[in-house]
Amino acid sequence: MAEQDQLLEGFNAGYVLEKHRPELAQQISQAVETVEEEFFQGFVAGSQQYAKERTQSKTIGKLRDTARQIPRPTQKGKDSPDKGFEIDR
């Protein structure tokens, strides 16, 4: 149980430090990658997890911005003789 607690504490520390001080977290992660203690394994994993989430968030934001620029089809009114779709620009 103590090993699990150390792993969890390390993960949380790595995650939070990567969120607020990414340069420092990267330096620490590189320095302790080969250390076999549970805390440091958790630290590296937490740091990597936040970096992964940050990358995904940026990618999703870029996709949303790109999607907003794509014209969407709008349906013409019921009274219109042309009952098709037109591109709203």
Convert the pLDDT of each residue in 3-60 to its tens digit.
Answer: 899 999 999 999 999 999 999 999 999 999 899 999 999 999 999 999 999 999 989 8
Contact 51, 57 (CB under 8 A): no
Contact 88, 71 (CB under 8 A): yes
Structural domain spans, the chain: 2-68
How far is the C-alpha of 45 from the C-alpha of 28, rounded, in Å?
Answer: 12
How far is the C-alpha of 7 from the C-alpha of 2, rounded, in Å?
Answer: 9
Label residue 68 by pLDDT band (50, 70, 90).
confident
Q: According to the model, what pLDDT value does residue 22 have?
A: 94
User: What is the dihedral sign for C-alpha 33, 36, 40, 41?
Assistant: positive
Label residue 67 by pLDDT band (50, 70, 90).
confident
